[in-house]
Amino acid sequence: MGMPLTGERLLSIGEFSRLSQISVRMLRYYDEHGVLRPTHVDAWSGYRSYAPGLLLTARWVLRLRDLGLGVGEIATCLPLLDHPAALRDVLGRQRTRLADEAQAAATRVREVEKLIAELEGPVMSVEITERTLAPRTVAALRDTIPTYADEGRLWERLMAGMGAAGVAPAPDGWAVAEFCDDEYVEENPEVEVRLDVAAPFEPAGEVKCRELPEQRVAVGTLHGPYEGMSEVMEAVGRWVPEHGLQFAGPMFNRYVVGPMENPDPAQWVTEVHVPIAPA
């Protein structure tokens, strides 16, 4: 694309700059990085000249740049201009990336708004209660997952395993995720997901039957999306030592109302349970 026709006058770099709306500095930069090569470079002066047909290539360079593609990505795309299917795949991947970035930016905007609101006073009051949980019989699946956000994978496997084994959840049973590591980890957390069952059963593949003993816990309740979990954790972290207690095991969440019951995050209810014992 952009090869000169026989006898066609080439454009000077200044003329090409004006017509393409790309500065001379950027034209030189694109040349150095193999994005937009001039048609001719004078061996003595280094003066660059461009075929008029390269204006179409220049227009694509600008469009791809404005989509957020880097220089290397633009250089990869330009040879595909005559292959729409291949270029469509590249643009589809960029569309997905931009959508993910927009979602992340929207999340950050909400966090900024939340912090601004907190400057006016506390936006959430977390009440901590002490409970003694009765013994429970549960179906459990424990494994390492890439990140905490991948917890849903364990639930899918637990439900599939229980279904294959003919094990049904108990009516009004608890859905619980226990976080087994001694500390917060950036990746590969070990998590156990559990559902109450009506009676003990024989282990079925990766799904185990566990008998949980009576347990003393401190409980904080989160109303709304999981982004508010840090406030609940802060409240629990202050409440336990203030009441002469110590932490006595891994924390776990009970999903009272979650995505499976209601798609609206504003309606979610999550109980954060922290095992406790006398200090």
CATH topology of domain 11-82: Multidrug-efflux Transporter Regulator; Chain: A; Domain 2 (1.10.1660)
| Residue 254 burial (CB count, 10 A) | 19
pLDDT in tens, 166-190: 998 999 899 999 999 999 899 999 9
Contacts of 10 (CB under 8 A, 6+ apart): 4, 39, 40, 49, 50, 51
Give the mean pLDDT of 207-223: 94
Q: Which of 179, 139, 178 is nearest to 161 (CA)?
A: 139
Residue 274: predicted pLDDT = 94
Residue 157: predicted pLDDT = 95
Mean of per-residue pLDDT scores for the chain:
90
Per-residue pLDDT for 109 more than 60?
yes
- Domains of the chain, by residue range, sit at 11-82, 95-123, 128-278
CA separation for the pair 156, 207 (Å, rounded): 12
Residue type, 269: V
Residue 242: predicted pLDDT = 93
pLDDT in tens, 64-81: 999 999 999 899 888 888
Are 188 and 146 contacting, i.e. CB atoms less than 8 angstroms apart?
yes
Region class of 211: left (phi > 0), else alpha (psi between -120 and 50), else beta: beta
**152: which DSSP letter?**
H
Per-residue pLDDT for 162 more than 70?
yes
Give the mean pLDDT of 151-179: 93
pLDDT in tens, 123-141: 567 889 999 999 999 999 9
- pLDDT class of 258 with cuts at 50, 70, 90: confident
pLDDT in tens, 36-59: 999 999 889 889 999 999 999 999
Residue 204: predicted pLDDT = 81
Per-residue pLDDT for 5 more than 70?
no
| Residue 176 burial (CB count, 10 A) | 20
- pLDDT class of 7 with cuts at 50, 70, 90: low
Residue 122: predicted pLDDT = 57
Residue 22 to residues 26, 35, 36: CA-CA distances in angstroms?
A: 6, 13, 11
Model-level pTM?
Answer: 0.61
128-278 to CATH, choices 3.90.1570.10, 3.90.1150.10, 3.40.50.1100, 3.20.80.10: 3.20.80.10
